[in-house]
Chain A
Amino acid sequence: MSFHTNKYYYGDYGEAKNGAADISAKGSAKEEWPLWEIFIRSKQGLDHKHVGSLHAADAAMAIENARDVYTRRMEGVSIWAVESKYIHASNPDEAGALYDPANDKVYRHPTFYDLPDEVKYM
């Protein structure tokens, strides 16, 4: 399949006219600091939310860097840093099989039940 990207985004000059040469991922990370996933609680009472990732040598540095990278405008009151290799994710290819059984259990939702109008506050 061959095509040309016509749109040039900020610094990306496509493949033509000595634009980027072959830029492919070979996965050769030499001695990179490990990658950490950063979660931020934006306000007391709310849960932590994933905001992105960064590299750091250890957990203390990850939290310090996360403060500079992700909370320059008071976006958070608490930071979690988890080394990315410890995150286990469900497989998107199995999403169907994983969530399908929930689909036919509509009786788990309150709207499934028909009640007379006279019943209030339920």
Chain B
Amino acid sequence: MEKTSEAFFQDKIDREIRIEPKDWMPEKYRQTLIRQISQHAHSEIIGMLPEGNWITRAPSLRRKAILLAKVQDEAGHGLYLYSAAETLGISRDEMYEQLHSGRAKYSSIFNYPTLSWADIGVIGWLVDGAAIMNQVPLCRSSFGPYARAMVRVCKEESFHQRQGFEILLTLSRGTEAQRSMAQDAINRWWWPSIMMFGPKDDESPNSVQSMKWKIKRFSNDELRQKFIDVTAEQVKVLGFTLPDPNLKWNKARGHYDYGAINWDEFWQVIQGNGPCNKERLEARKKAWEEGEWVRAAASAYTTKKNKRNTTVAA
């Protein structure tokens, strides 16, 4: 019986038919997706913090309104994704608990500090840019609710990248101090941004299974290369440079070659030792704990209202 379900499931995947929450699915598929979607959601939520840091200090009303809208979008992305994960049988509270206890991970990039206004430009350009590369293939994920959430997310992301690039473009035409502030931000964010694609392909055993389930469509290195090729051209428009002396066009490969990535740093950040890991989790926990009375009050109000309604009806 089990075998029939599994074969039927695989057949649907092979024919690009989406899997929906109530359909039979292998337990491992369910777990892999819960992990992947919830950690993606956590990344969107934690990702609001580094940028939120600059909302009050945006240099103009226009920039402030844009940044507010962008950060609000990221909250939306987190919410779409949490609800997609919930269709697989995990509760919202459980996911929060996993994040707050440090059991769940989120994107390593958000554990770096935003030191200047130029960082906001670089985050939009590089971090959202890398996220878009990663997320576009997810619009075809085999799990329906995830794919639908990603379509919505991807539609909203491109404004994020453009507003970031525009900030940098403005700085690039500014004073010497503004130009060097922007270059400094690029220098700090470049390597963490290309680490966002995850470890080298040969670092972990090849996953036949997740390919087969169409959870995975492109490898980490494929996407990273694509991102580097695109970005190495865009930086020329800004008149800045990427901080990699080995970055060079390789005519034979038709791609840019790039220098060695510091994977030690990457794993350190993932394991909780990045510059801001503690601060980020503390901020989330604080928001959760201090919101407790609001959640309780709203529930109490609803209970009271319902009781009154039933009394009137009776």
Q: Provide the residues of chain A in CB contact with B23, threshold 8 Å.
A: 92
Q: Provide the residues of chain B in CB contact with A58, threshold 8 Å.
A: 298, 301-302, 305
- Closest CB-CB distance, A93 to chain B, in whole Å? 7
Provided the pairs A23-B103, A57-B299 are in contact, do residues A29 and B208 lie with their beta carbons within 8 angstroms? Answer: no
User: Could you tell me the distance between the alpha carbons of A88 and B297 in the complex, rounded to whole angstroms?
Assistant: 30
Instruction: Digitize B20-31: 1 where CB-to-A-CB distance is under 8 Å, 0 elsewhere.
Output: 101110101011
Q: Provide the residues of chain B in CB contact with A91, threshold 8 Å.
A: 22
- B135 near A10 with CB under 8 A, answer yes
A120 at the interface (CB under 8 A from B): no
- B40 near A25 with CB under 8 A, answer no
- Closest CB-CB distance, B197 to chain A, in whole Å? 7
- Closest CB-CB distance, A104 to chain B, in whole Å? 23
B188 at the interface (CB under 8 A from A): no
- B105 near A10 with CB under 8 A, answer no
Q: Provide the residues of chain A in CB contact with B148, threshold 8 Å.
A: 52
Residue among B92, B131, B217 making CB contact with A29, cutoff 8 Å: B92
- A14 near B204 with CB under 8 A, answer yes
A102 at the interface (CB under 8 A from B): no
Instruction: Digitize A1-27: 1 where CB-to-B-CB distance is under 8 Å, 0 elsewhere.
Output: 101111111111111111111111111
Provided the pairs A20-B104, A23-B35, A57-B299 are in contact, do residues A10 and B43 lie with their beta carbons within 8 angstroms? Answer: yes
User: Could you tell me the distance between the alpha carbons of A10 and B157 in the complex, rounded to whole angstroms?
Assistant: 14
A72 at the interface (CB under 8 A from B): yes
Q: Provide the residues of chain B in CB contact with A9, threshold 8 Å.
A: 36, 39-40, 134, 138
B207 at the interface (CB under 8 A from A): yes
Q: Provide the residues of chain A in CB contact with B31, threshold 8 Å.
A: 23-24
- A7 near B219 with CB under 8 A, answer yes
Name the residue on B nearest A15 (C-beta).
B35
Q: Interface on A for B, CB 8 Å cutoff?
A: 1, 3-33, 35, 52-55, 57-58, 61, 68-70, 72-73, 89, 91-93
Q: A25-B34, A55-B92 are in contact. List 13 more A-B contacts (CB 8 A).
A: A1-B28, A5-B36, A5-B210, A11-B39, A12-B35, A14-B204, A20-B105, A25-B90, A27-B89, A28-B94, A31-B295, A32-B91, A32-B92
* CB<8 Å pairs between A and B, sample of 27: A1-B26, A3-B207, A3-B208, A6-B201, A6-B204, A7-B198, A7-B207, A7-B219, A11-B107, A12-B35, A13-B198, A16-B204, A23-B35, A23-B90, A24-B31, A25-B89, A25-B94, A28-B91, A33-B295, A33-B298, A35-B83, A52-B84, A54-B79, A58-B301, A72-B156, A92-B22, A92-B23
Q: Interface on B for A, CB 8 Å cutoff?
A: 20, 22-24, 26, 28, 30-32, 34-36, 38-40, 42-43, 69, 72-73, 76, 79-80, 83-84, 86, 88-94, 98, 103-108, 131, 134-135, 138, 145, 148-149, 156, 196-199, 201, 204-210, 215-220, 267, 270-271, 295-296, 298-299, 301-302, 305
